[in-house]
Amino acid sequence: MPEDDENEWIQASLRGDDAAFARLAVRYRGRVSAMVGRFARGAHEREDLEQEVFIRVWRGLGRYRGDAPFEHWIMRVAIRTCYDHLRRHRQRRDLEVLVEELPIRSAADAEGDAIRRQREAWEVVQRLLEHLPEKDRLVVTLIDLEQKSVKETAALTGWSEANVKVRAFRARQRLREWHDRLFGETRR
């Protein structure tokens, strides 16, 4: 999509054109959904987070300065929304049992086994991430799960690149320690 169209949609949205904002939302829904999916537990929580992101984008659109691509701005809103969500629901999430909503096929079905293994691996990752403080969980999610660079992560979080590197290093160390505690394995 040409950047000019996107800028026109932004300006039209600022003037109250709901259809223009809907075009922006459709354009970025997939990216936002992928991002919040890393933080949400289940489809309902993901949908709620997506909706909250777009509400914040709608309300904050006037603060978009245009000095960086709109995609960067909207992803930063998504990350902040996810971070706020983690902070608000921390205690509840600690008490919840993770139930992934992937369909499981029969054990004899190789595809069903692959899905089951994928679900189990994701549950381990989620269980380990739950032991991290919110900022550490955020940096690991962005760098290791979302495959963002240190520079991109710094831009999205507002932290310095050095802070991102140190936090990621320490968070990975904590993940290894928790893995060893939870699963009784030592890695050397």
For the domain that residue 66 is a member of, what is the CATH number? 1.10.1740.10
Summarised one tens digit per residue, pLDDT across range 103-157 is 554 445 566 667 777 777 777 777 788 778 888 888 888 888 888 899 988 988 8
Q: Residue 91 domain-assigned? A: yes
Count structural domains, the chain: 1
Return d(Cα 129, Cα 151) in angstroms, integer.
Answer: 22
**CA–CA gap between residue 86 and residue 120 (Å, rounded):** 22
Expressed as residue numbers, the domain containing 5 is 1-96
Axis-axis angle for helices 3-14, 18-37 (nearest 10): 110
What pLDDT is attached to residue 185?
59
- CA–CA separation, 1 and 72 (whole Å): 16
Domain assignment present for 151:
no
Q: Given pLDDT bands bounded at 50, 70 and 90, which one contains residue 52?
A: very high
Q: Map tokens 């690149």 to a residue.
A: 161
17-36 pLDDT, tens digit per residue, is 999 999 999 999 999 998 88
pLDDT at 95: 44
* Residue 126 maps to a domain: no
Contact 50, 32 (CB under 8 A): yes
Displacement of CA 94 from its chain's centroid (Å): 18
Closest CA to 57 of 31, 88, 37, 93: 31
Residue 184 lies in a domain: no
